[in-house]
Chain A
Amino acid sequence: MRRLVIALLALVAVACGGAAQTAQSPSATSKVTMATDTDLTNVMIGQERFVIDHDIAQNVYSGLVRLRPGSNKVSPDLATSWTVSGDGLKYTFKLRKNVKFSGGFGPFTAADVVASFDYERDPKSATAYNAQFSLVKSVTAADPYTVVIELNQPYSSFLSGVLAWQSGLITSAKAIREKGADYLATHPVGTGPYHLSSYEKGQQITLTASKEYYAGEPAIKQVVYRYIPEAATAVLALQKGEVDVEQIQQAAAYRTVKALPSDKVKLYEGPGWRNYYAWLQCGNGRVTNDPRVRQALERAVDLKQVAQGPGAGMITVNHSYFNPTVLGWTNDLPTYGHDPAKAKSLLAEAGYKDPGQLHIKLIYYKSSLYEPLALAVTDAWRSIGITVDVTQIDQAAFGDEMAKGDWDAAIWGHAVGDPDLYAYNDTHSSGIGTTNYSRWNNSQADTLIEKGRTEQDTTARIATYKKLQALVAKDVPTIVLGNAKSIIAARPGIKGLYAPGYFGLIEWQYVKG
């Protein structure tokens, strides 16, 4: 019995000792711990699998150009200046000198740009960005510090949509040659502000500030991404001080952190890249082919209530199918406001005197807010008498279901950082059967989209995109349920922290500490 008591006391003592060690230093931050709900899988350029892979890639690599947080204007990164030919087909980049790769892989030169983009363009590499590089005709090194990229057709989003995002990240030619993509998957070689200094699978990933970073060693010297798969545990970890920063994605977590005192938690919120949609099927002979039916479906939904209720305050009302951070976004659009009576009369016009005769098949998969949104939309439609058949589909199988188009309504999000990626992929007729899930076919829209992706003048582009957004709002190939707020919860005192557009992707070089 005595031995048992001594053992218990020893256990408590060890526990107390352990607890003391995890106490955080309150002075100027040089180390930050962030919770992540995905574990590092592959950080080779073009091979990033999950959100954390993108987050890390953005911190260890650089591109020719970049988009600084909160801006949709392209700024220099590894390219110090560039010119575009009059016909929009030839881009000439002057490269930054005295930039070094990590891991002793030597100085950065044009050959590395060529090798990286050749890797992306080669179908055998099977990268996610291969399709985006299909409009690139050639990538050549004119001299060690000049790269010339020629396109097959003019593309105004080449800088902002392809080169400034993860598709444009650059790694060392020598590393690709000597180590291969499989090795680089967990040992990235980059010129970014951080190095991946350690990776303990299932536990944590550590980034260490690069002393050779061309813009100067960042203020935050060490970033630890702690793998916490359960959102509830992540919130507890924040409360306990075991993590400093985390992205809030679930309603329960949001409610909890909002209720915490401001000396414990600081919330950063802003527009995110992801919009939530109820895509409506405009092809495949479905009932939603009729625009009156689509307008009725939108009128039946109270979007303000959806943002607060099922959206749990994590959604902002957004009428545009673009997200608010992209060039040309506007909220000044014609909409079909909440009007159940008008919805019913539209249905009657369309031949459904009894709304119950209208059968809507709705599909969704369970992730983020898709389920509460699916249920809210279903409720709204059922409340005016429409017959709705809701089906939850497994996440991995959802893409195929979307592409097949055997549905009337589908709840899904889309998160990209460039207007053309919404315009061309979601609503151009060439995307029918692949990314244009609603199979919307509108020649006016096609013309605007093609104009928007070839116009060089920014003001003209913005005007074109405004017209396009208005067209989409009018014809309702999709009901925009709102924009997902980017929400970051952190302990107070981390200067320069912000809510990033892409999920939890904080570029730590901009955080002052």
Chain B
Amino acid sequence: MTFYILQRLLLGLLTILLIVSFAFVLLRVAPGDPASVWLGPLATPETLRALHHAMGLDQPIWVQYGLFIRQLLSGDLGISLNARRPVLGIILDQYPFTLQLTVGSLVAAIVLGLPLGALAAWYRNSWIDLSAGLAVLGWLALPSFWLGMILLLVFAVNLSWFPLLGAGDRGNVGSIILHLVLPSIALGARQAAVIARMTRSSVLEVLNEDYIRTARAKGAGERRVLTRHVLRNALGPVINVSALDTISLLGGAVVTEAVFSRPGIGSLLAQSVSQRDYTMVQGCLLFFAASVVVISLAADLIQGGLDPRVRNARRGVVQ
């Protein structure tokens, strides 16, 4: 088991390295030099040279890359070209907000999607199933930006039930949660739809299995059948898909953080791309890549936890 985790982590590190290297090259190849963007057209050649040097951009690209890798291996993500502060420090300061948003959205997606999908399957072809289907279609179609603005307008401005801006007071759990409700719904709605549909089809499949008939024949109540037998087996594929879809939540964080004026890595990435803050962009992408690796590993482990067949396959045990 440990070997399996180590293997996955190693593969993950390689993935991260590839992604960040790709970003490294792409940034330096794209038009727009951070020094001249910052200094403007009045810059004397001397000043430009000095700034290129301060930004580490006056070396040939392979030398820059070598330095970048060396720094990376020692845990140094470089200095933000604009803010002149270590990138790692800024990211560590900001990532908790994105983490909150991602977890919040996942929770919202599960709370909204799972029961809806299960009910739709349980009461298949009834009006419940039909309305669930419509809701799902709606959630898939609504752009999160628009949904976010509507939620703000209705619940934060007109009804004043929720705050309009920011992530809440640090350390104040109540405030943090209050500030997470609307953005989590806005960001999680699309994933809720995915979870609902996945749950529905997975539950339907499981309902047809022999062991369900057996459980009923043994005299198990409907509630027990649903929770102990149906859901437990149906959740596997749902988790698999949700885990991979959680990765898209990270991308959605960029827009959601802007709409809700929340700090975070998404917001950081958006700002630094437009200003060609190379080191900051690299740092943010590294964070995203690392998050993807962690999330897919976690998803795999959870699935293993739920399904002994997967667990044993990993252990190399023959059934």
A residues within 8 Å of B by Cβ?
11-12, 14-15, 18-19, 22, 39, 41-42, 44, 47, 49, 123-128, 130-132, 134, 181-182, 185-186, 200-204, 226-230, 232-233, 236-237, 239-240, 242, 394-397, 399-400, 402-403, 425, 434-435
Contact = CB atoms under 8 A, between A and B. Distances in A.
A365 B33 CA distance: 16
28 contacts: A11-B178, A41-B82, A41-B83, A42-B84, A47-B84, A123-B46, A123-B49, A125-B50, A126-B54, A127-B47, A128-B38, A186-B85, A200-B263, A201-B93, A202-B94, A203-B166, A204-B166, A226-B165, A229-B267, A233-B149, A233-B261, A236-B152, A242-B164, A397-B31, A397-B32, A399-B40, A402-B41, A434-B42
A366 B39 CA distance: 20
A39 B178 contact: no
A127 to B, nearest CB: 8
Contact of B44 (A134, A200, A202, A400): A134
Given A123-B44, A123-B46, A229-B267, A185 B261 contact: no
A125 B40 CA distance: 15
Contacts of A203: 166-167, 263
A265 to B, nearest CB: 14
A472 B47 CA distance: 31
B38 A130 contact: no
A131 B160 contact: no
A314 B83 CA distance: 33
Contacts of A396: 31-32, 37, 274-276
Contacts of B167: 203
Contacts of A22: 163
Nearest to A130: B47
B84 A236 contact: no
Contacts of B83: 41-42, 185-186
A466 B175 CA distance: 59
Contacts of A399: 36-37, 40-41
B200 interface: no
A39 B32 contact: no
Contact of B267 (A15, A18, A185, A202): A202
B70 to A, nearest CB: 21
B178 A15 contact: yes
A-B pairs, 3 with minimum CB distance: A202-B263, A396-B32, A126-B51
Contact of A123 (B42, B47, B162): B47
Contacts of B161: 12, 15, 19
A403 B41 contact: yes
Given A124-B50, A204-B166, 12 more contacts: A42-B83, A125-B50, A126-B54, A131-B43, A134-B44, A185-B84, A229-B261, A233-B149, A233-B261, A399-B40, A400-B31, A400-B33
B288 interface: no
Contact of A236 (B36, B157, B271): B157
A266 B41 CA distance: 38
B84 A182 contact: yes
Given A125-B50, A396-B275, A425 B259 contact: no
Given A125-B50, A131-B47, A202 B262 contact: yes
B260 interface: yes
B78 to A, nearest CB: 13
A276 B300 CA distance: 56
B82 A49 contact: yes
Contacts of B94: 201-202
B156 A240 contact: yes
Contacts of B24: none
Contacts of A131: 42-44, 47
A425 B156 CA distance: 48
A202 B164 contact: no
Contacts of B97: 202
A233 B165 CA distance: 8
Nearest to B263: A202
B80 to A, nearest CB: 8
Given A130-B43, A130-B47, A400 B260 contact: no
Contacts of A19: 160-161, 163
Contacts of A394: 31-32
B49 to A, nearest CB: 8
Most buried by B among A18, A127, A435: A18
B162 to A, nearest CB: 6
Interface string B86-116: 0000100110010000000000000000000
B234 interface: no
Interface string B154-182: 00110011111111000000110010000
Nearest to B39: A128
A131 B36 CA distance: 13
A14 B178 contact: yes
A453 to B, nearest CB: 15
Contacts of A236: 152-153, 156-157, 164
A239 B162 CA distance: 15
A18 B163 contact: yes
Nearest to A40: B83
A271 B258 CA distance: 30
A131 B39 CA distance: 10
B166 to A, nearest CB: 6
B178 A230 contact: no
A204 B166 CA distance: 9
A201 B32 contact: no
A227 B271 CA distance: 12
B174 to A, nearest CB: 5
Contact of B82 (A18, A42, A201, A233): A42
A435 B175 CA distance: 50
A425 B85 contact: no
B310 to A, nearest CB: 34
A400 B36 contact: yes
B264 interface: yes
Interface in B173-197: 174-175, 178
B268 interface: yes
Contacts of A15: 160-162, 178
B47 A233 contact: no
Nearest to A47: B84
Contacts of A230: 258-259, 261
A232 B249 CA distance: 23
A228 B165 contact: yes
A42 B84 CA distance: 8
A124 B40 CA distance: 16
A11 B161 CA distance: 9
Most buried by A among B84, B153, B160, B260: B84
Nearest to B44: A131
Nearest to A49: B82
A237 B165 contact: yes
B47 A126 contact: yes
A396 B162 CA distance: 37
A201 B93 CA distance: 8
B314 to A, nearest CB: 38
A14 B270 CA distance: 33
Contacts of A39: 271
Given A226-B165, A228-B261, A425 B42 contact: yes
A431 to B, nearest CB: 9
A463 B85 CA distance: 49
